[in-house]
Amino acid sequence: MTSSEETAIAILGWLANEPELLGRFLALTGTDPSSLRHAAADTGFLTGVVDFLMGHEPTLLAFCETTGTRPEDVVRAHLMLSGPDNPGDF
């Protein structure tokens, strides 16, 4: 597992403790809670987790503050998981 994947897993773990955000994420991805563990093994799903966080700066900053993660580390994970052909919206 790469550090980018570890960052995505940390985001997913944080979302699990944020019911409102988790509900929004699940609705956007079409994933149900029972399939999260299986989905977390998929790099494409992990990319979506980081994309979700990157799509809303206040949520990104809340994650970083709560977990002690530097925003730059999330940006790096986003770039690594998205690949050079999909640099994201920033």
Give the tens place of pLDDT for each residue, 41-53.
999 999 999 999 9
Q: What percentage of the chain exceeds 70 in pLDDT?
A: 92
CA distance linking residue 74 with residue 3, whole number of Å: 10
Contact by Cβ (8 Å): 53, 7: no
Report the chain's C-alpha Rg in angstroms.
12
Residue 79, Cβ density class (10 Å: 0-12 exposed, 13-18 middle, ≥19 buried): middle
Give the tens place of pLDDT for each residue, 9-43.
999 999 999 999 999 999 998 998 889 889 989 99
